[in-house]
A and B are shown apart, each in its own frame.
Chain A
Amino acid sequence: MPLLEVSGLVRRFGGVTAVGGVDLSVEEGRLVSVIGPNGAGKTTLFNLITGLDRPDEGKVSFDGADITGFAPEKLAHLRLARTFQHGRVFANLSVLGNVLVGAHARLRAARPRLPVLGALGELALALIQPGSVRREEAALRAEALAIIARFGERLLPRQDQPAYSLSYANRRRVEIARALALSPRLLLLDEPTAGMNQTETAEMQALIAELKASGLTILLIEHKLDMVMSLSDEVVVMDDGKVIARGLPQAVRHDPAVIEAYLGHREVGGGAAEKALAEAAE
């Protein structure tokens, strides 16, 4: 049974169908990429899966359970983590603070599981700070530091700096660190290398490969095709809200519909997509 299964997902904005009947499934431990030209509906698809937007039709299942239309905070408790296309970090929180917020849904001692009274209990526990709460906080802090350490010199020296002071690329890294702090069962990455130069992209690619090797299930949106081709177990190509091709990377890159979709944008993209496809095919 796939970990994530999306079937017949539709989302319309006024007269525009942003996502028009998309099916998708991700098996546990695999990395599936969604590619496609700008405006193909990739981010809308992500928003529908992660509860930021509700689909007009269709179904999303996670680990066999129907999660269609679930609120994002509920999905976080199922340990489904995402990053955002334009990097949404908590500007006034430190790097460490940002990563610790990622672990919020994993708090057990600090958040008693009771209806209504749970919230008051949470307040009381935060005031009293009993040993269990302090130990949990210390453990999460150590874990968060370990996650930050994975980004080496990029983040480690900046762990106490507020996120607004970071470079764009570093904010993207903080986002991924925050997502990892949830210890996700499924990680959705929305263009993790947007705005990064070649070296930074290579670093990010190595990190994602490492995450995949550790057994993490990943759904990736990415424009950099050579990265997609080398990382993915399966590639899903979207255009105009629909899936136009899917399969192994090497099969997809020769698919006439895919080439058509990318070449159709040649005038706009100055042939960059065509070139990228050709390079990736080599």
Chain B
Amino acid sequence: MTSWLDHTINGLIVGNIYALLAVGLALIFGVSRLINFAHGSVYVVGAYIGWVAVAHLHTPLPVTILLVAAGSALLGLLIERFGLRPLQGSTKIAPLLATIGISFVLDQIVQIVFTPDPRALPSQLPDWRFQIGGGTIGALDILIAAIGFTSAVLLFGFLRFTKLGWAVRATAQDRDAARQMGVDVDQVNRIVFAIASALGGLSGLLVGMYYNYIDPAMSFQATLKGVVAEVVGGVGNIPGAIVGSLILGLVESYGIALLGTSYRNLFAFILLVVILVLRPNGLFASKRQLPPEPLTGTFIAPSKPVPLPTPALLAALAVAAVLPLVIAQPYLLQTLTNAWLYALLGISLTLIAGTVGQISLGHAALLAIGGYTSALLTLDLGVPVGLSILAAGFVAAGLGTLLAWPAFRLRGHYVTIATLAIGEIVSLAILNWESLTRGPIGVFGIPPISLFGYPIESARAVYWFTLAILAVLAALQLRLLRSHLGRAWRAVRDDDVAARSYGIALDRYKALAFITGGFAAGISGGVTSHLYSFINHETFNAQLSILALTIVILGGMGNVFGAIVGSVLLIGLPEVFRVAAEYRVLIYGLVLLLLIRFRPQGLFGTV
């Protein structure tokens, strides 16, 4: 019994930390209808400000807390002013993508300044614990509970009793009406970002002290946990976010007690998907609501695609095909081969996110499914490599569609959150299903590519092999886009309500898109696994999903040729100029931000 009380206390404490994150997310969503994917980065920055204060400035705890809150609030103001305010009036997805870009940039800056290595963040508190009932409570537990409680009370008082708090609530209820009544909604936005970021930074500090551990990579997990807690409580609902966080903390704590630490995140994401499917408005939302407003023309920037006549496309293909005869360096060919593999991922995502409008952030999971399928089929069942790659396509198409099914009934930002969670679930399943996937060790010794017994190993042969696959799949996708399916998919994207009224069953056509896209991504993952000869659960990570989305936006949503060019530019150029890996991610983040701001329709326009 002792341990259960301990697990409960631990769950509530961790839940309290999540609450600091989730309340900020809820505040921001309330006033700007935005899920802030940069929130985890603020949390990391908060943790590092704390580390600098403790380790270098040797500040006492209250000063550390003040420094962290002030520094994080300032960062929040900067994000609001330079990242989001310029996007007012643009498409609905733009601010969300911008926060993803900002998060990339901030995380990389932290990594460059402080190195990716983990650091200890000592708690500055006396190291005593006392017994209550069968459990123990330490000084830090009490501090966390006190900060959580004080923040909640202060926030409640601010929203309830101050004029500015009233303005925040009015803006959350009806932004336009609030503006007409003289509320300075820009100021409300600033205040909310400052408060939310201060809480987020504090959360980072407390987590760092609690585990005596910080590293730049915790950002992504923090965002995810905050989002899970927020969705459980109902997006934009502040008391809901607090309760949702405590529930999440308890679920995780009990889950770890039952099954072990590596399952921690699996519980969080399964909880998220279950809530999204059963109660997308959160546990505390009122039952049936009015049908939501159309997203017509507001979700994806309308634009005229750049016309690309077939002869031009064939000429481009011909140039790509003769390139190995001209280029001698294998390094350059390998780089382009890599670009073709990313282009396969790109045409897959440009179909799902661009043509059908389901902005997926879990797309790397399809690569992972394809990669593991082909690797395990060849190693464990002795399937010939060519056949195994084909099987990878089919398995990724089928399994990917089934896994994405819960997201089909969702719209807009919720699709993005759900696919992100589903992607993480796949990665965690690979990590934990050791009997099939060999767990954290990964799969070694994957045989190189061969076709009908002929090895495809030279840089030239691999180049032609991948280019041929890409050309065939891209041509097939263009063929589909010209058929009634292309029309139906784009109708779903532009207005799903009107599409349904004209007989387009959403589940069916979203499934067909995932089958088509899953096939291309699965093939890409399969080929990749044979080229790398080693894969593990981190080979195809969430960063890859975001890179894929950047490729798609760069090329133009739904634009097949654009996705290929986008991939050559984003994969090929940094390689050619030999940009160091950590700066590469920084560049991706900046490219994403600049695109959203200055050319949301991408290079070749939305198709």
**Of A13, A100, A120, A182, the contact of B484 (CB 8 Å cutoff):** A100
Task: Please measure, in the bound complex, the distance between the C-alpha atom of A104 and the C-alpha atom of B501, giving whole angstroms.
Answer: 10
Chain B residues with Cβ below 8 Å from A51 are: 501
Give the interface segment out of A122-130, A150-158, A258-266: A122-130
Task: Please measure, in the bound complex, the distance between the C-alpha atom of A76 and the C-alpha atom of B488, giving whole angstroms.
Answer: 14
Q: In the complex where A82-B501, A93-B490 touch, is A88 in contact with B484 (Cβ < 8 A)? A: no
Task: Please measure, in the bound complex, the distance between the C-alpha atom of A100 and the C-alpha atom of B482, giving whole angstroms.
Answer: 12
* A92 is an interface residue with CB less than 8 A from chain B: yes
Task: Please measure, in the bound complex, the distance between the C-alpha atom of A14 and the C-alpha atom of B508, giving whole angstroms.
Answer: 33
Task: Please measure, in the bound complex, the distance between the C-alpha atom of A102 and the C-alpha atom of B484, giving whole angstroms.
Answer: 11
Give the interface segment out of B159-167, B169-177, B511-519, B576-584: B511-519
Closest to B488 in A: A104
**Of B294, B476, B491, B500, the contact of A93 (CB 8 Å cutoff):** B491
Nearest CB in chain A: distance from B606 CB, A: 6
A92 close to B494 (CB less than 8 A): yes
B503 close to A73 (CB less than 8 A): yes
A-facing mask of B509-543, CB < 8 A → 1, else 0?
00110011000000000000000000000000000
B490 close to A104 (CB less than 8 A): no
* B487 is an interface residue with CB less than 8 A from chain A: yes
* B479 is an interface residue with CB less than 8 A from chain A: yes
Would you call the interface of chain B mostly helix, strand, loop, or mixed?
Answer: helix
Q: How many inter-chain residue pairs (CB < 8 Å) link A and B? A: 120
Chain B residues with Cβ below 8 Å from A126 are: 479-480, 483-485
Chain B residues with Cβ below 8 Å from A127 are: 476, 479-480
Nearest CB in chain A: distance from B348 CB, A: 15
* A162 is an interface residue with CB less than 8 A from chain B: yes
B-facing mask of A62-91, CB < 8 A → 1, else 0?
000000000111011100011010101111
* A178 is an interface residue with CB less than 8 A from chain B: yes
Chain B residues with Cβ below 8 Å from A100 are: 484, 487
Nearest CB in chain B: distance from A245 CB, A: 28
Nearest CB in chain A: distance from B474 CB, A: 13
A-facing mask of B466-489, CB < 8 A → 1, else 0?
000000000010011001110110
* B187 is an interface residue with CB less than 8 A from chain A: no
* A137 is an interface residue with CB less than 8 A from chain B: yes
A122 close to B512 (CB less than 8 A): yes
Nearest CB in chain B: distance from A184 CB, A: 11
Q: In the complex where A90-B495, A92-B302, A93-B494 touch, is A123 in contact with B501 (Cβ < 8 A)? A: no
A101 close to B501 (CB less than 8 A): no
* B290 is an interface residue with CB less than 8 A from chain A: yes
A123 close to B484 (CB less than 8 A): no
Nearest CB in chain A: distance from B492 CB, A: 9
**Of A81, A97, A164, the contact of B297 (CB 8 Å cutoff):** A164
* B497 is an interface residue with CB less than 8 A from chain A: yes
Q: Which residues of B contact A (CB under 8 A)?
A: 286, 290-291, 294, 296-297, 300, 302-304, 476, 479-480, 483-485, 487-488, 490-491, 493-495, 497-506, 508, 511-512, 515-516, 606-607
16 interchain pairs, CB-CB under 8 A? A52-B291, A76-B501, A76-B503, A77-B503, A81-B501, A89-B296, A101-B499, A104-B491, A105-B502, A119-B508, A119-B511, A123-B485, A129-B479, A129-B483, A178-B502, A182-B502
Q: Which residues of A contact B (CB under 8 A)?
A: 13-14, 47, 50-53, 71-73, 75-77, 81-82, 84, 86, 88-93, 97, 100-102, 104-105, 107, 110, 119-120, 122-123, 126-127, 129, 133, 137, 162, 164, 178, 182
